[in-house]
Chains A and B, each alone.
Chain A
Amino acid sequence: MEILIQQLFNGLTIGSVYALVALGLTLVYGILHIPNFAHGALYMMGGYITLTMMTKFGLHYWIAIFVSIILVGLIGVLMERFVFHPLREAPPIHDKIAAIGILLFLEAFAQFYWGAEYQSMPTPYGQVVQIMGLTFTMQRILIVVAALVVMLLLYLFLKKTFMGATIIAMSQNREGANLVGVNTNKVAMLTFMISGGLAAIASSLSSPINLVFPGMGQLVILKAFVIIILGGMGSIPGAIVGGYILGFSESLGATYISNDYKDIIAFILLVIILTVKPTGLFSKGGQH
């Protein structure tokens, strides 16, 4: 019983990180209508920038995360301006190729600038706490709480502000949004900013329990793709629910099946969902 609860909590932790990454991916998918393969590289950049801010500049963990959110958000905006925006009239395959190009570029850049070795990120929240006879690390509790707060803020932004509503409107009909007076360029940039920021938060939160290295985004982004296919491409609740489903399946699978097969679970889920409900759990009716 104790192991089960412990593993459920672990699933919640991993699921929170996955959900944050998948949210950024799904938002950009809504705007571009292409999968942004470079999103994993943004996640990786977020980890490195936070780490550098802490070790080189001696900033506090939270301030380092804040700087990372801004910088990775800006990288996202630059990506939109210099790569995806010029390609908006090109066939969709061009965006995909470009996204892979950005991914390769950023990974090579990280390896060149920060080196290929695995680095660990210090955290001020290394303590272990006991709650009802169960042990939790503060960092893991922090991940769960912070992810919930970020998702709540994102929800309020999208649902309660005009700015947020424009992102939703644009993902449902780009020309329609343009015709009511929305500057679609600005909204696209804003979406990339938010997407990059979410990736930075996710990697900064999870790096202290994982490690920072140039390829750290690869497995995460593959799983994020599984999540948004599971939840329905472009669906926001789908990304959140999908993230937690994958988190729980992985941590339970690791305990009760085998730790070696942990990373396969995502792809088994993918095969199942594509067989049973290819449009995903939360696909929107009446769209397109």
Chain B
Amino acid sequence: MLSLKNISVKYGSFTAIQDVNIEVNEGEIVVLLGSNGAGKSTTFRTISGLSKPATGELLFEGKKVNKTSADQMVKLGIGQCPEGRKLFPAMTVQENLKMGSYIHRRKKEEIKHLLEHVYELFPILKEKRNDAAGSLSGGQQQMLAIGRALMSKPKLMLLDEPSVGLAPLIVEQMFGVIQKINNEGTTILLAEQNANAALKIADKGYVFENGSIVLQGTSEELFANDEVRKAYIGA
């Protein structure tokens, strides 16, 4: 479905990621592991069209999308819940969600269904639907960011560190919902530092270090790998 072939991204003369190869198949949950600054977010920015690759090929459903702009990527079916959430803080929860279905803006009925679906996944959002997004707690904002990405009915959803800064109980809940979204047919690419929780639901994973992929394998393989256990699971 999505493949990155020898992708490198540069910010000026600084190479943020180098020769990255990632393959995501339909229906999978794929996780990118790595510490801060390892290149996960840059990879995401590149897939969503915010940053452009300097070299390499970015393919989505067999089409080369190296130069496609971020708004076109959403139309192709890639939804992103970005690092820092990037919500519209002074708009209400419901307005944020409605903006999420911007590409379906002419289909009023569909928006209604999508909205109901998101409220089903995150009942707390329904309760707070008239509150400003900026007034929500961190966990609720994260739910809203995921909900907003879902509103575009993406084929592939990018989730950049959905567990960052959340209480352990909420993290568990969040990963439950992510799995549910995947079961409903959305392919998921997840960036995480919480390897334990992420590998439990993922099919396979890639480990980033200093802008390159140093290790890849199925979840079981990574879970059993000593270095991964030492660096990201702490066991």
- Name A residues whose Cβ lies closer than 8 Å to a Cβ of B: 162, 165-166, 168-169, 172-173, 175-184, 284-287
B74 (CB) vs chain A CBs: closest residue = A181
Q: Do residues B71 and A176 form an inter-chain contact, with CB atoms below 8 A?
A: no
Structural contact, A286 and B134, CB atoms closer than 8 A: yes
B8 to chain A minimum Cβ distance, whole angstroms, is: 20
Contact of A178 among B71, B95, B149 (CB under 8 A): B71
Given known contacts A179-B80, A181-B75, A169 and B70 CB-to-CB distance under 8 angstroms:
no
**Footprint of A on B, CB under 8 Å?**
48, 50, 69-71, 74-75, 80, 82, 85-91, 95, 98-103, 105, 132, 134-135, 148-149, 151-152
Q: Is the interface of A mostly helix, strand, loop or mixed?
A: helix
How far does the alpha carbon of A172 sit from the alpha carbon of B90 in the complex, in Å? 7
Closest residue of chain B to A178 (Cβ to Cβ) is B70
Contact A165 B90 (CB under 8 A): no
* Contact indicator B89/A173 (Cβ below 8 Å): yes
Residues of the B chain whose Cβ atoms lie less than 8 Å from the Cβ of A182: 71, 99, 102
Instruction: Find B86's partner among A162, A173, A287 (CB 8 Å cutoff).
Output: A173
- Distance in angstroms from A211 CB to nearest chain B CB is 40
**Is B87 a contact partner of A181 (Cβ separation < 8 A)?**
no
CB-CB under 8 A from A183, the residues of chain B are 69, 71
Total A-B pairs in contact (CB under 8 Å)?
78
A178, A180, A184, A285: the one within 8 Å of B134 (CB): A285
**Residues of chain B contacted by A181 (CB below 8 angstroms):** 71, 74-75, 102-103, 152
Interchain CB contact under 8 A, A284 and B99: no
Known contacts A176-B82, A179-B80, A181-B74; A169 and B103 CB within 8 A of each other: no
Judge whether B82 and A169 touch: CB under 8 Å.
no
Within the assembled complex, what's the spacing in Å between the Cα atoms of A172 and B134?
11
A76 and B102 alpha carbons, distance in the complex (Å): 26
Can you sample 16 A-B contacts with CB below 8 Å? A165-B95, A172-B88, A172-B90, A175-B50, A175-B70, A175-B86, A179-B50, A179-B70, A179-B80, A179-B86, A180-B74, A180-B100, A181-B71, A181-B103, A184-B71, A286-B89
- A residues less than 8 Å from B74 (CB atoms): 179-181
B164: shortest Cβ distance to chain A, in Å? 17
Q: Please give the distance in Å from B110's CB to the nearest CB on chain A.
A: 14
List the A side residues contacting B135 at CB < 8 Å. 285-286
- The smallest C-beta distance from B137 to any residue of chain A, in angstroms, reads 12
